[in-house]
Amino acid sequence: MHPSYPTTKKALIQLLIESQHLFKSPMPKATSEDVLDMLRRLECVQIDSVASVTKNQHLVMSARLKDYQSSQLTDLLQEGAVFEYAANAMCILPVEDYPLLKPIRDYRQARLQPVLHQLKDVTHRILQRLTIEGALPSRAFLSANRVHGYWDNEQPKTKETSHALNVLFDAGILQIVKREGSERFFDLTQHVIPKRFLDTSERLSMHEAKQSLLDKYMRSYRIFDAQNARFGWYKMNATERKVEIARLLNEDKIIPLAIEGVKRQYYILTEDLDRLKAIESTAQSYRSSAMVFLPPLDNLLWSRNRLEDLFAFNYRWEIYVPTAKRRYGPYAMPILWKDRFIGRIDPVLVKKEQHLTVRLLQIEPHVPITKTLIKQLNRSINTFAKTHGAKSITIEKVEPKTVDPCLILD
């Protein structure tokens, strides 16, 4: 038995906020080098196509870097400094991490072999063109045939070439090298990933790759449990997870935590113990008075169980919930103030009109509505609007109803 380290929710919350690089004062300015450095520190950033204000990956960066521009991450992709692939979900990662994702690529390639065989004629034509011509946009590949794509529930609606591009990308045969709006540009992996990383991937044994990927996973979470079926971002059953936890404990890589008021078993990296002790020794509340709106797929929000256990905050992204059943709105973003989540904001940006509409601003029932809170909300909403190019703001609804929207945007 490995002794558990006793600690508090408050100390772990501060450790989490620091490891997520939130509330740094002054906020670092977003040069291209800073964006890449932040990506490395976060380990990866999740990609999503939904853009109520802007896409998730850009909201993650703008919450941490001053004057961040979406073109900066896009440029890094085009320059080959980063690449896209499945980690926590579909993510952007530093290109040097390419070898570590070998377990995910090999699993997907094996699973997709029947589909690749079925599409062999169209994939052959795609690969032939990319070999000769280099990177091409998805629109360069035309097909009148419609097939069942990933998201076709009943009728085949997906263009055959589009489905083939998706399958080739998921199998690791192609890379996305550029994005222009919603259009992706593809090229062969051997054209995109530097040879030294391709060679490292070939030399790396599956055992070594899995252990390295698990290390990256733990660094990205910092405080984690072993209940995730994709512990390490690849499939692992309960017995396998138990074996891995035992190995990590025996190698002194992780420490089990005994958290006051929490039944679930969490762990931290051994390298984080000194920082946790330093936080505990200050015996002070978290000093930052900053407020930030986090996108639904922000790294800090990946574990809903951890949100409930540590922050006592229940969060569900309602984008896929039927409209009639939504409680907070399709893009409700949690509001983090100091060391707690105080509510949600559901914004939508009309870029052409440079106008931000807050469909709902919801404050949790236990949060006192003070002048300080109103002032901070005013400052944060205006900063958020300005950051994303809005020159005017409307707040349609506030909960609790006793709060006048005009008080917030006076």
Residues 17 and 117 both lie in one domain: yes
Residues 133 and 45 both lie in one domain: yes
Q: Please check whether residue 356 lies inside any domain of the structure.
A: yes
CA-based radius of gyration for the chain: 23
Query: 210-264, pLDDT tens digit by residue?
Result: 999 999 999 999 999 999 999 999 999 999 999 999 999 999 999 999 999 999 9
C-alpha torsion angle, residues 211, 96, 224, 252 (rounded to 10) = 50
- Nearest CA to 66 out of 27, 10, 109 is that of 27
Residues 68 and 137 both lie in one domain: yes
Residues 273 and 344 both lie in one domain: no
**Residue 106: how many other CB atoms lie within 10 Å:** 16
Q: Is pLDDT above 60 for 205?
A: yes
The domain that holds 355 is classified in CATH as 3.40.630
Total domains in the chain come to: 2
Residues 243 and 318 both lie in one domain: no
Helix spans in 80-119 (H): 102-118
Residues 338 and 203 both lie in one domain: no
Given 269, 285, 301, the domain boundary residue is: 285
Query: 337-395, pLDDT tens digit by residue?
Result: 999 999 999 999 999 999 999 999 999 999 999 999 999 999 999 999 999 999 999 99
Residues 320 and 387 both lie in one domain: yes
What global pTM score does this model have?
0.94
Sign of CA dihedral 56, 170, 104, 188: negative
Domain hosting residue 102, numbered range: 1-285
